[in-house]
Amino acid sequence: MPDFCGNCGASMDLSISDVCPNCGKKAGAAGTSHAGDSAIAQGDTATFGLDENIASAACYVLGWLTGIIFLLVEKENKTVRFNAMQSLLTFLPLSLIIWIVGAIVEMMTIGAGYYAAAGTRATFGIITTLIWIIMLILWVVLIYKAYKGEKFLVPIVGKVAARQLE
């Protein structure tokens, strides 16, 4: 029975080489699969048996919370660990800023009275709204880039995340 490349489905002889003469990629574990089954051998598996790109995207789904979960559970896959660390280092500080700003506004409102602090509430409301918008944009971009398998470094945070995992 002939062998087939798990990546492109080309016929090949695994007894000679495990590199496909058609696409040049390693045939993978699906050496006897057919072209329609090529999705099985496309990516490395990671946490919970997910493909690497899906696990990487999942690191961002609940922000820093899923970052912590995947960082604790995934021990081997460096791509998933990087995305988990980047999620943690991106969304936790932004969440803390929002919580701290909210606490400051509440303390000012209690001390000065509601009407005296109305301008302050509006100013801090604008600040927290801008942070939420930044978080939403980052969330969408990071999930999309991770799912596509692209390594996207958030400015400053991405380099720190990469250094933490070395």
List pLDDT tens digits, range 94-142: 999 999 988 887 777 776 665 656 677 778 888 889 999 999 999 999 9
Tens-place pLDDT, residues 28-60: 543 333 333 333 334 566 767 788 889 999 999
Q: Amino acid identity of 22?
A: N
Per-residue model confidence (pLDDT) at position 36: 36
Q: CA-based angle 40:57:60, to the nearest 5? A: 155
Tens-place pLDDT, residues 67-102: 999 999 988 888 999 999 999 999 999 999 999 988
Domain parsing of the chain, residue ranges: 1-42, 43-164
Residue 142 tokens read as 């990071």
CA distance 79 to 53: 9
CA distance 18 to 41: 13
Cβ–Cβ under 8 Å, residues 58 and 83: no
Cβ–Cβ under 8 Å, residues 20 and 3: no
Per-residue model confidence (pLDDT) at position 118: 67
Residue appearing with tokens 């489905």: 9
This prediction has a pTM of 0.65
Residue 85 tokens read as 């660390």
* Per-residue confidence band for 22, with pLDDT thresholds at 50, 70 and 90: confident
Cβ–Cβ under 8 Å, residues 6 and 37: yes
Cβ–Cβ under 8 Å, residues 75 and 87: no
